[in-house]
Amino acid sequence: DTAVSQTPKYLVTQMGNDKSIKCEQNLGHDTMYWYKQDSKKFLKIMFSYNNKELIINETVPNRFSPKSPDKAHLNLHINSLELGDSAVYFCASSQDQAVRSYEQYFGPGTRLTVT
């Protein structure tokens, strides 16, 4: 039973299109995150939500918009896709973001390729 799942696993699209990536966790966690991993494997946080409330919003273009319909889901919508958006996007969750020792559980990733 997958703890953090993402769909789709692969996404190939053209520049200018709009796309969404979905994330769901069945761990009962309060906090969810989106990370971007570039071609050199560098990971950077983009957003986090706690109980549907935005907690972290890093310097990310406005074309990226997270949406959390409930605490088990955090979706990422990307408008007007650009070549530089090509990356692997990871969703993660943790029990409570305020407790620094809690681990984050990561999904399998979504590889986005913009052509």
Partner 1 sequence: GNSVTQMEGPVTLSEEAFLTINCTYTATGYPSLFWYVQYPGEGLQLLLKATKADDKGSNKGFEATYRKETTSFHLEKGSVQVSDSAVYFCALTTSNTGKLIFGQGTTLQVKP
Residues that bind partner 1 (CB under 8 A): 4, 31, 33, 40-45, 48, 55-56, 90, 92, 94, 97-109
Cβ atoms 24, 75 nearer than 8 A: no
Judged by beta carbon, residue 38 or residue 82, the one nearer partner 1 is 38
Q: What minimum distance in Å lies between the beta carbon of 97 and partner 1? A: 3
Judged by beta carbon, residue 8 or residue 16, the one nearer partner 1 is 8
Judged by beta carbon, residue 12 or residue 15, the one nearer partner 1 is 12
